[in-house]
Structure 1
Amino acid sequence: MRRDGSDVDFDAFFLHEFPRVARTVHHIVGDRARAEELTQDAFIELLRHWRTVAEYDRPDLWLRRVAIRKAQRERHRGWRRRELEVLTAPTETVDGPPTPAPEVLAAVRRLAPGQRTVVVLFYFEDRPMSEIAEILGIKESTGWSQLHTARRHLADTLEEEVSDVIR
């Protein structure tokens, strides 16, 4: 039972959040099957802590933090070994909003893990920076700094200009 009196059902939560979290993780790791595995791992961890997390105002943020950390670790471990495979593999989509152009996804996948995660959450998921900071456990100013640096790198990679205004 949550503080607001509503009962959160794990099965319903899973059905609602799995595709969304898997899509985010997919954008970070670049591989749909691996993204689904990492998302399942995050849900297994959530199930272990369900009684506590279900009481949170936003259990979805706890889940995303766990899934994103798993994705970042995965991405960091195989960064050099898989970079060529990820960049040349055909783009797969997970059900949801339209996937950005392949050249944009390839450029995003070249970013450092922290920058890539902030870009995915800010632009692909349309999350506010305050929520991104909470999910990642960073200060908002750090998130804005990572986003600014990522935008510069993306502009260089895509050979486009970046305006100073975000969004």
Structure 2
Amino acid sequence: MTVRQQTGAPPDAASAGEFTDFYQAHFHRIAVQLYAYLGDHAEAQDLTQEAFCRTLERWDRVSGYDDPSAWVRRVAWNLATSRLRRMRTAVRHLARQREEHVPGPGPDRVALTRALATLPAAQRQAIVLHHLGQLSVREIAEQAGAAEGTVRSWLSRGRAALATYFSEEAPDA
């Protein structure tokens, strides 16, 4: 191994001239191939450029290959495949991060929510747990720490208040 190879020094003038000729002869063809693969012209050019930069770093070795353009093409395709893989991963990640848009509540739900908000907390809790949560009076009493008779009273008063609320709201609707 020469000193230049060990230190990563730039190629000498003759070698640089060979690389320039090689670059001019093959860049466009490889970039077009990557463009067809990726569908993005700028990305294809960037990746082809990166492959040639890597080739330049190893030009003393790569220039001795039977077909140095095959090495550059392989590097460029590997870079393109890696880029596509990273983009797919990013798209999947972003898809999981998207907010799901659900339609807002309908007019009946809004009216019920407003009506429930007018009830005292204990009556509202009893109505919601019994009618929406489908809990029995006994289960509500256990959860609230109240007697079953008290829960029945909350349900009765809450239903009466809701009936009054909706009968008063009906003419306005």
TM-score by length of 1: 0.43
- 1 or 2, which has the higher helix percentage? 2
Q: TM-score if structure 2 supplies the norm length?
A: 0.41
Higher CA-based Rg = 2
